[in-house]
Amino acid sequence: MKRLGCMLVAVAGFQALFTGCKCGFEAKRGMECKPDVLAVLPAYCPTPDGMAIDAKGNLIVACPNFVDQSQSACLIKIDKKTLKVERWVTVPPLKETGVACPMGIAFGPDGDLYVCDNQGWKGTPQGQFKGRVLRLRIRDGRAAVTVVAEGMEHPNGVRVRDGFIYVTQSLMSKVKHADGHMVSAVYRFKLDDVGVKVNNTLGDPNILASFTTENRFCPYGVDGLVFDSKGNLFVGNFGDGKLHKITFDAAGNVRSNTVVAETDFDRALDPKKPGFLERATRAKMRTIDGICVDGEDNIYVADFSNNAIARVTPAGVISVLWQNGDTDGRDGGLDQPGEPILWNGRLVVSNFDAVYGPDNPDKVNTKNDQPATLSVLPLR
């Protein structure tokens, strides 16, 4: 998802564009429905990220807790009816690092939860090439863990379909592209795989498709992914703001990999130059973090860098549902949206809120705010 080192500093007067509902920036976009707060999260979940819905309709949220790793990484449960928030299970840490870093999560057909343990996200030497894909069988608040795959540099998003686990790896530093572009990939593992050793090269037999990110100011690759009703796989390239559609033949092999929608932003602009944010925040779908799909195959995109949610129709038309400036999220505003999910007829968004500062001059977010929040948008 979002990497430290790909961010933004607010410029004078920028926040004034984003105050209130139906004024300033929102009015120019034609946006009318300000998000509300779904949940203010407890202190043990300072960094919410991936989300999934369990068999009873409850919302499960992954908490890698990057902004405060004194808090054990965990999964929280939000009750479908009461919206009560509770710790569901602590994710077992990796022995070498002493932490777990759960990001993307997805339930399998057997009720097991598949988790991307992104040990490489913080960029520490201890976590490099230690990322895992975990299978959690959770009973009575305890998790029995099986390692599906290990040795990954940056496992991020995950989906399960037709006996396979699809995982995005957002960075592949071992692969040197001829033009210097960042390389990333989608991997496909079997549902019953155990202990697969990932070598982080394009020669890995588990790679389904590879991608390049041309944006040298935000060198971060594929992140969110989702299947539509026809079985096509959509994958978002974070740094380039491109939405890819992968189709398959009858044998499950990739038939095509095409860009069906992409940002209208000039990726050659330097974030450190004056006026960058004013131009960047007027772009549609500047970055693509988590994505989800509705019953009509519209794709909803968390535009992490722009504090926005975009929608892409099956015809590839992009619209911005909501966008706001730097915020603490307490009024429901988007505070670095990481993952959207459709739940109870509304769009729920996790506010990651962990990438900011002078090393990240391309992000609207300027600081971490606590407590963390989840936002919710009505769909019309």
**The two three-digit tokens of residue 175, written as one number:** 């692969």
In the beta sheet, which residues pair with residue 225? 235
Task: Read off the pLDDT of each residue in 136-153 and give the average, rounded to a whole number.
Answer: 94
Question: How many residues are there in the chain?
Answer: 380
Question: Would you give the end-to-end CA distance of the chain in angstroms?
Answer: 28
Distances (CA, A) of 373 to 46, 65, 169, 276, 367: 9, 13, 26, 28, 14
Contacts of 34 (CB under 8 A, 6+ apart): 21, 26, 322, 331, 332, 333
pLDDT of residue 46: 97
Rounded distance, CA 118 to CA 137, Å?
19
pTM (predicted TM-score):
0.93
Cα angle value 89/92/96 (rounded, 5°)? 160
The confidence band for 32, taking pLDDT boundaries of 50, 70 and 90, is low
Alpha carbon 50 to chain centroid, angstroms? 7
Structural tokens at position 266: 């000039």
pLDDT of 27 higher than 50: no
Q: 273 and 298 in contact (C-beta within 8 Å)?
A: no
Tens of pLDDT, residues 331-367: 999 999 999 999 999 999 999 999 999 999 999 999 9
Domains of the chain, each with CATH number or no CATH: 15-378 (2.120.10.30)
pLDDT band at 142 (very low <50, low <70, confident <90, very high): confident
pLDDT in tens, 220-230: 999 999 999 99
Q: What per-residue confidence (pLDDT) applies to 379?
A: 86
66 with 101: CB under 8 angstroms?
yes
Q: Is the pLDDT of residue 273 over 70?
A: yes
Please give the pLDDT value at position 279: 95
Question: Looking at the predicted structure, is the pLDDT value of residue 195 above 60?
Answer: yes
Query: 198: alpha, beta or left, given left = phi > 0 and alpha = psi -120 to 50?
Result: beta
pLDDT of residue 29: 53
